[in-house]
Amino acid sequence: MGTSDKYSLIEGNIVRKLFLVALPLIGTQIIQMAYNLTDMFWLGRLSSDSIAASGTVGLYMWLSMAFMLLGRMGAEIGVSQSIGRGDREKALAYARNSIQTGVVLGVALMLIYIFGRGPLVGFFGIREAHVAQDARDYLSIVAIGIPFTFLTGAVTGIFNGAGNSRISLFINGAGLALNMALDPIMIFGAGLGIKGAATATIIAQVAAACLSSFALLKLKSRPFDKIKLAARPDKSVLKQVFKWVTPISVESFLFTFLSMMTAAFVASYGSDAMAASRVGAQIESLAWLITGGFASALTAFVGQNYGAGKWDRISSGFKISSAMMAGWGVIVSFLLFFAGSALFGIFIPDNPTVVDIGAGYLRILAIAQIPACLEGVASGAFRGRGKTIPPSVASVTSNTLRVVLAYILTYHTPLGLTGIWIALALGCGARGSWMFIWYLIASRKVQKEGVPA
CA distance linking residue 441 with residue 446, whole number of Å: 9
- Please give the share of the chain, as a percent, with pLDDT higher than 90: 40
User: Which amino acid makes up residue 347?
Assistant: F
Mean pLDDT of 422-442: 91
Mean pLDDT of 137-158: 94
Q: Hey, what's the torsion of the CAs at 234, 238, 240, 241, to 10 degrees?
A: 140
Specify the DSSP class assigned to residue 125.
Answer: -
pLDDT of res. 17: 78
Confidence of residue 110 (pLDDT cuts 50, 70, 90): very high
CB 197 within 8 A of CB 186: yes
User: Which amino acid makes up residue 204?
Assistant: A
pLDDT of res. 156: 86
User: Which amino acid makes up residue 88?
Assistant: R
CA distance linking residue 77 with residue 72, whole number of Å: 9
| Sign for the pseudo-dihedral over CA of 320, 323, 327, 328 | positive
| Sign for the pseudo-dihedral over CA of 194, 264, 397, 249 | negative
CA distance linking residue 175 with residue 148, whole number of Å: 12
Q: How many CB atoms lie within 10 A of CB 23?
A: 15
Stretch among 86-95, 219-228, 288-297 having the lowest mean pLDDT: 288-297
Q: Is 221 helix (H, G, I), strand (E, B) or coil?
A: coil
Asked if pLDDT for residue 3 goes beyond 80, the answer is: no
Asked if pLDDT for residue 343 goes beyond 70, the answer is: yes
pLDDT of res. 173: 86
CA distance linking residue 221 with residue 211, whole number of Å: 14
Asked if pLDDT for residue 224 goes beyond 60, the answer is: yes
User: pLDDT by residue (tens digit) across 375-423?
Assistant: 989 988 887 676 777 887 888 888 899 999 999 999 999 999 999 999 9
User: pLDDT by residue (tens digit) across 124-147?
Assistant: 888 889 999 999 999 999 999 999
CB 29 within 8 A of CB 292: yes
Asked if pLDDT for residue 4 goes beyond 50, the answer is: no
Mean pLDDT of 439-453: 67
Specify the DSSP class assigned to residue 188.
Answer: I
pLDDT of res. 391: 81
Confidence of residue 307 (pLDDT cuts 50, 70, 90): low
pLDDT of res. 449: 54
pLDDT of res. 58: 86
Better pLDDT: 360 or 384: 360
CA 29 to chain CA centroid, Å, is 7
CA 146 to chain CA centroid, Å, is 15
Stretch among 91-105, 149-163, 382-396, 431-445 having the lowest mean pLDDT: 382-396
Of 5-14, 171-180, 308-317, the range with the highest mean pLDDT is 171-180
HSE (side-chain half, CA atoms, 13 Å) at 92? 14
pLDDT of res. 453: 45
pTM (2 d.p.): 0.76
CA distance linking residue 128 with residue 271, whole number of Å: 7
Of 32-41, 131-140, 164-173, the range with the highest mean pLDDT is 131-140
CA distance linking residue 158 with residue 150, whole number of Å: 13
pLDDT of res. 386: 66
Q: How many CB atoms lie within 10 A of CB 167?
A: 22
CA distance linking residue 156 with residue 162, whole number of Å: 10
pLDDT of res. 199: 96
Better pLDDT: 151 or 303: 151
Asked if pLDDT for residue 80 goes beyond 60, the answer is: yes
CB 211 within 8 A of CB 171: yes
CA distance linking residue 179 with residue 99, whole number of Å: 24
Confidence of residue 186 (pLDDT cuts 50, 70, 90): very high
In angstroms, the Cα distances linking 176 to 26, 30, 181, 200, 248 are 15, 10, 9, 10, 26
pLDDT of res. 55: 83
pLDDT of res. 85: 67
pLDDT of res. 426: 94
pLDDT of res. 108: 97
Stretch among 93-97, 144-148, 166-170 having the lowest mean pLDDT: 166-170
pLDDT of res. 291: 84
